[in-house]
Amino acid sequence: MLSGIEVAHRSLGGVFSVPTGSGPWALSVGQSLRVSRSLFSFNLSVVGVGWAFCFFAAQTPILQTETPNVHNSLTCAACGLAHDADQLQNLCNECGKPLLVGYDLAAIKDSFTPDAVRNRSVRSMWRFHDVLPVDDAAGAVSLGEGSTPLLKCRPVGAAAAFENLFVKDEAFNPTGSFKARGMSAAITRAVALGAKKVALPSAGNAAGAATYYAARAGIECYLFMPEDTPPANIVEAAVGGAKVFLVNGLISDCGKLVKQGCERFGWFDLSTLKEPFRIEGKKTMGYELAFDMADAAGSTKLQLPDVIFYPTGGGTGLIGMWKAFDEMQQLGWIGEERPRMVVVQAENCAPVVRAFEQGATHAEMFPNASTKAAGLRVPAAIGDFLMLNVLKESGGTAVTVSDDDLLDGVREFAGEQGIYLCPETGAVWKAALKLLESGWLKPSERIVLFNTGSGLKYNHLFPPNNLPLLDHNDPNVIDQIES
C-alpha cells in the first residue's frame, strides 16, 4: 500500500510513492515505505526537491503504466532525489553521492520465490534476474559469474578453533574475482542504454573484469591503472583488448583522469559506486549466501550467517549484500535477522576502520596509503557513509591487519585448507583470528569469510625461494628426497 503522494511521470515509468521523511527505497515505483533498517542517512533538507519535482510531475497527465518486471527507480543514497531510471546515470545530480536501484518488489513477490529460483536452470547470478537490470536472463552480458561455492573449513591448524567457519569462494568467477558480478550487471545495463565506450580506474581485479565483459558486449574499455598494479591484472587487461594506461599515482589519481576522459570523449564512467549497477551485481553474493547457508544446514529455509567478513576497498560488496538482505526481507524470504558485518582493511590503508573507531559518519582520506593487497588500496571511498552505516546497523566492527600478517594468512590457509586466497582475504582470515581471540567471535558462530579473488593473480607476492633443483641425469638423485 502506498503512503504519501502518488504521482506518475512518463519518463520515470510509473507511480512514485513519496512518504515524508523516508529512505530512498520508498521512492521506488509502487514500493511501500520501509524505514526501520535503512542503509541511509536521509537528508531531509533535500526532500523539498523531491516534493517540488512531484508537484511538477503531478501537473502532467497521469500515465498509469503496467509495472515492468525490472528495476524502476534510481534514488540518491544521501539526499533521496529520484533520477530517471531509463538513462545512463552516474552520481546524484544534486549532491554527487551514489545512486541506488529500486524494484517493485511487491509486484514480483508471488513469482520470485526461493523455490522458483532453485528450479531455474541458469547457472549464474542471473538466476536472480528479477532483481537485476534486465527483463530476462537471456538479455544479460554474462560469462557465467556467480553461483560460487561455499566451502566449510577443515578443523585443522588455527581453523580448528572455529566450529562453523566457511569460505565463499569468489575465485571461481570469470576473470578470477567477485568483480565479475558487478561488471556483468553494470555493462549489461550500460549497453542496454546505449554506451559504446566505458572507462574506469583500477588497481586490481576490476580491470580484468571490465575488460572481458566489455569484450563480450563488443564495446571499448579504457583503463587507468597505477603503475604498480599487480602484473597479472595489467596483462589480463591488455590481452583482453582494453586500452590500458599506466599512471604514476594512486587509484584516486587514475580516477581524476577517467573523469577528464569522460568529459572530453563521452566515455561512460564505470568507477566503483559512480554508476548504480555494480552494487546490483555484487548484491547477488548476499542472495546466494542465503541459499548456501540453507544448503549447509540441510534445510530449505533460507538463512544468513552470524558474521560476514569482507575485505573492504570501495565497499561495493558490503553495501550490495546489505541491500540484498533488505530486499529479501521485503520479499518475505527472511526475517529481521542480519549478520554482523566486519570490514577488514590493511594497516596502512584503513580509512573506514579509522572512521569507525572514531565514531564518524564519513571517512577522511587516508594519507600515504600503501598495502600489497591491491584491492584494499583505496584511500578514500565515495560510499564511506554507506559502509559506516552498515557497520552500525549490523552491530559489526572494523579491523586492520598488517601486510606481513595478511601474506602469512594466505600461506597458512593454502597449506591447511587447500584454498589459495587472495591477499585481501589473507587479511580477512587473520582478522577472524584476532576477533576470536578477543572474544568478539564465539567459536560456535556461523562465520563466512569472503575470498574475493584468486591467489593466482598475486603470484608475484610469493616468489618461491630455495626450491631444490634436481639433476635428472644423476642416477641417485632420488636419494636427495625425504618422504
Ligand X SMILES: Cc1ncc(COP(=O)(O)O)c(C=O)c1O
Q: Contact between 173 and ligand X (CB under 6 A)?
A: no
DSSP-based three-state secondary structure for 464:
coil
Q: Which long-range contacts (CB under 8 A, 24 or more apart) does 383-386 make?
A: 383/77, 383/98, 383/272, 383/273, 383/314, 383/315, 383/316, 383/319, 384/315, 384/351, 384/352, 384/355, 385/41, 385/77, 385/78, 385/97, 385/361, 386/39, 386/40, 386/77, 386/98, 386/315, 386/319
50 contact choice in ligand X, Zn ion, none (CB below 5 to 8 Å, kind-dependent): none
Q: Which of 14, 315, 409, 455 binds ligand X (CB under 6 A)?
A: 315
Amino acid sitting at position 117: V
Q: Contact between 422 and ligand X (CB under 6 A)?
A: yes
Q: Which of 285, 230, 278, 274 is nearest to 252 (CA)?
A: 274
Part of the chain binding Zn ion (CB under 5 A), chosen from 78-86, 166-174, 407-415, 465-473: 78-86
Smallest distance, ligand X to C-beta of residue 323, A? 13
User: x/- site string to Zn ion, residues 91 to 120, per CB under 5 A?
Assistant: -x-xx-x-----------------------
DSSP string, 367-407: TT---S-GGG--S--TTHHHHHHHHHHHT-EEEEE-HHHHH
Part of the chain binding ligand X (CB under 6 A), chosen from 58-66, 124-132, 287-295, 305-313: 305-313
Which three cell numbers, joined as nine digits, stand for 18?
513519496
Q: Which one, 326 or 424, has the nearer CB to ligand X?
A: 424
Part of the chain binding ligand X (CB under 6 A), chosen from 42-50, 122-130, 200-208, 463-471: 200-208
Q: Contact between 281 and ligand X (CB under 6 A)?
A: no
Smallest distance, ligand X to C-beta of residue 17, A? 30
Degrees, nearest 5: CA angle 431-387-91: 140
Smallest distance, ligand X to C-beta of residue 316, A? 4
**Alpha carbons 413 and 401: distance in angstroms, whole number:** 16
Give how many residues touch Zn ion by CB under 5 A. Answer: 8
Q: Contact between 12 and Zn ion (CB under 5 A)?
A: no
Helix (H) or strand (E) holding 110: none
Which three cell numbers, joined as nine digits, stand for 126?
542471473
Smallest distance, ligand X to C-beta of residue 57, A? 35
DSSP string, 111-165: TS-HHHHHT----SGGGGGGGTTSSSGGGS--SS-----EEEPPS-GGGGG-SEE
Part of the chain binding ligand X (CB under 6 A), chosen from 114-122, 189-197, 306-314, 359-367: 306-314
For residue 469, the number of C-alpha atoms closer than 13 Å in the C-beta half-sphere is: 3
Q: Which one, 92 or 151, has the nearer CB to Zn ion?
A: 92
Site for ligand X in 250-279 (CB under 6 A): 272
95 contact choice in Zn ion, ligand X, none (CB below 5 to 8 Å, kind-dependent): Zn ion
Q: Contact between 79 and Zn ion (CB under 5 A)?
A: yes
Give how many residues touch ligand X by CB under 6 A. Answer: 17
Smallest distance, Zn ion to C-beta of residue 85, A? 15
Give how far Cα 432 sits from Cα of 30, 164, 193, 348, Å.
Answer: 41, 12, 42, 19
**Alpha carbons 246 and 225: distance in angstroms, whole number:** 5
Part of the chain binding ligand X (CB under 6 A), chosen from 152-160, 257-265, 310-318, 400-408: 310-318
Part of the chain binding ligand X (CB under 6 A), chosen from 102-110, 158-166, 235-243, 315-323: 315-323
Whether the CA torsion 413, 417, 420, 422 is positive or negative: it is negative
Q: 269 — alpha (psi -120 to 50), left (phi > 0) or beta?
A: beta
Q: Contact between 49 and Zn ion (CB under 5 A)?
A: no
Q: Give residue number: closest CB to ligand X.
A: 375
Q: Contact between 305 and ligand X (CB under 6 A)?
A: no
Q: Contact between 43 and Zn ion (CB under 5 A)?
A: no
Q: Which of 255, 317, 409, 426 binds ligand X (CB under 6 A)?
A: 317
Binding residues (CB under 5 A) for Zn ion: these are 76, 78-79, 81, 92, 94-95, 97
Binding residues (CB under 6 A) for ligand X: these are 177, 204-206, 272, 311-317, 375, 422, 424, 452-453
